[in-house]
Amino acid sequence: MFNLLYLKRVQKGWTQQMLAEQAGVSRRTVCSIENAGKIPTIRIGIRLCRALGCSFEEVFPIDVSLREL
């Protein structure tokens, strides 16, 4: 799963720590998602997206073809 968390965060001019505080998660969580490609839980993903003011799909696009379903 590709994520745009880094791009959205930088567009707001926020550090990882600032996003973490706004979303109520640790900076390590933000770092893991951005750099290691860790897939967040839905709850954490939604908290991050709300803090950034965007939808889940904008940050975590899911590219699934109908053949995979």
**Per-residue pLDDT reduced to its tens digit, 9-64:** 999 999 999 999 999 999 999 999 999 778 899 999 999 999 999 999 899 887 65
| pLDDT higher than 80, residue 67 | no
Domains in the chain: ranges and CATH: 5-59 (1.10.260.40)
Confidence of residue 1 (pLDDT cuts 50, 70, 90): low
- Residue 10: predicted pLDDT: 95
CA 55-15-23 angle, to 5 degrees, is 45
Task: State the distance between the two ends of the chain, measured CA to CA, in whole angstroms.
Answer: 16
pTM score of the predicted model = 0.84
Q: How far apart are CA 59 and CA 56, in angstroms?
A: 5
User: How many C-beta atoms lie closer than 10 Å to residue 19's C-beta?
Assistant: 24
Q: Which amino acid is at 47?
A: R
CA atoms 37, 17, 44, 52: torsion sign: negative
